[in-house]
A = this chain, B = another copy of it.
Amino acid sequence: MAQTLGEIAQFLQAELKGDADCIITGLATLSNAEPSQLSFLANMAYRDQLSTSQASAVIVHPNQAMDVKGNALILANPYLGYAKVSALFETLPAGSQTIHPSAVISESAKIGANVSIAANAVIEDHAVLANGAIIGAGSVIGVNSRVGEHSRIHQNVSIYHDVVIGNNTIVHSGSVVGSDGFGFAQDQGEWVKIHQVGGVLIGDDVEIGANCAIDRGALSDTHICSGVKLDNFIQIAHNVEIGEKTAIAAGSMVAGSTKIGRHCTLAGGVGVTGHLTLVDNVHVTAMSLVTKSVTEPGSYSSGTAMSKTVEWRKSAARFRQLDTFSKRLKSVEKSLQGSDKE
């Protein structure tokens, strides 16, 4: 994976200051970099490390170009430069473009060109793997489901029936797509299952982290739009719609039939209750619970800030008295107004 600095400059369309023939063998942070590694300065908090870093070259903003003692790649957005160059040093093995003999593939499945299917994967009836799709070891692609071009399904993923996954989409290990939504009707204390006859529609350029669960729709499809990025442990309930390029951090859960707009971000551990609508560009901070629709872009939060447990206990006890406090405060104010009038 060695490249010359000149090749990398060309790949990034970056201005090169220094030795174009310098060999770069890897990427590292400024403080961890060894000679022959490329680093970057994206956060000004680490600016002082420019002078001590062992990196052979650093991607920097034009304003910091003068501060680099050695080689520099100068870019308006060094973090984006780092993201792009990371692709050159990817360690993930490419697909084999072969079908392992232990894989079990239905005769009715349609397998495109250059598809990779790893050991013990299972491709069920009428499933479609488009050109260049990669299926990891032990993964199951259910009846009638489709994996788009150049999409990669990692190991031990479970795709149920009637799931459509677009192109260039990634699903990490342990994730489940198309499991039943949680729907029951009450019949005199008995739960009667509502069979979930919808599917799941996942767009292009989506990434789904490890151990996620995306339920199939009750009637129509659950929908993850193109460009959505989901971290690990994301729960997407039946008939949810996640708008384009929205990103959701680990452990967040979206309840049934909720629609989240485009370019939103949910930080880790966020809950969104069912049947809500969040407009585009809504941002929710970690472990907040959204119980009402959000009609205005912006940042939203719930919860309390952390304290030492002994202090917190006092606040938590007082929290339960807040309504009484309010009344007592009002009474005090009235009493003072009364005394003012006297």
A residues whose Cβ falls under 8 Å from a Cβ of B: 26-29, 32, 77, 79-80, 82-84, 86-87, 89-93, 100, 102, 104, 118-120, 122, 124-125, 136-138, 140, 142-143, 154-158, 160-162, 170, 172-176, 179-180, 182-187, 189-197, 199, 207, 209-213, 215, 218-220, 227, 229, 231-233, 235, 237, 245, 247, 249-251, 253, 255, 263, 267-269, 271, 273, 283-292, 298-323, 325-326, 328-329, 332-333, 335-336, 339-340
- Which residues of chain B have C-beta atoms less than 8 A from A212's C-beta? 211
In angstroms, Cα B334 to Cα A328, docked, is 12
CB pair B32 A220 closer than 8 Å: yes
Instruction: Evaluate whether A245 and B311 lie within 8 angstroms (CB atoms) in the complex, with A27-B219, A319-B305 already known.
Output: no
Of the residues B90, B273, B286, B314, contact of A289 by C-beta under 8 Å: B286
Instruction: Give complex CA distance A156, B196 in Å.
Output: 20
A161: B residues at CB distance < 8 A: 91-93
A197 to B48, CA, bound (A): 25
Known contacts A120-B120, A315-B319, A336-B336; 20 additional CB pairs below 8 A are A80-B187, A92-B195, A104-B120, A104-B137, A137-B140, A154-B158, A155-B158, A176-B210, A180-B209, A182-B231, A190-B245, A191-B229, A191-B247, A213-B250, A303-B303, A307-B320, A311-B323, A318-B322, A319-B322, A335-B336
Decide if B300 touches A309 in the complex (CB within 8 Å). Answer: yes
Give the chain B neighbours of A300 by CB distance below 8 A.
Answer: 306-309, 312
What residues of chain B lie closer than 8 Å to A162, measured between beta carbons?
91
A119 touches B122 (CB 8 A): yes
Question: How many whole Å from A326's CB to the nearest CB in chain B?
Answer: 5
Residues of B within 8 A of A267 (CB): 273
Q: Which residue of B lies closest to A289 (CB)?
A: B287
Q: A140-B156, A250-B255, A255-B249 are in contact. Are A80 and B192 (CB under 8 A)?
A: yes
Contact yes or no, B312 A301, CB < 8 A: yes
Question: A237 to chain B: which residues have CB within 8 Å?
Answer: 231, 250
Given A182-B229, A271-B268, does the pair A174, B172 have CB atoms closer than 8 Å? Answer: no
Other-chain contact of A104, B26, B102, B233, B308 (Cβ < 8 Å): B102
Question: Are A232 and B179 in contact (CB-based, < 8 A)?
Answer: yes
Contact A319 B319 (CB under 8 A): yes
Distance of A162 Cα from B155 Cα, bound (Å): 15
Asked if B308 and A299 make an inter-chain contact with CB atoms under 8 angstroms apart, the answer reads yes
Given A210-B176, A322-B314, A333-B332, are A290 and B306 also a contact pair (CB < 8 Å)?
yes
Given A211-B213, A255-B250, verify A304-B332 contact (CB < 8 Å).
Answer: no
Chain B residue at smallest Cβ distance from A81: B185
**Closest chain B CB from A286 CB (angstroms):** 6
Contact B255 A268 (CB under 8 A): yes
A79-B185, A80-B192, A184-B83 known; A211 vs B211 contact (CB < 8 Å): yes
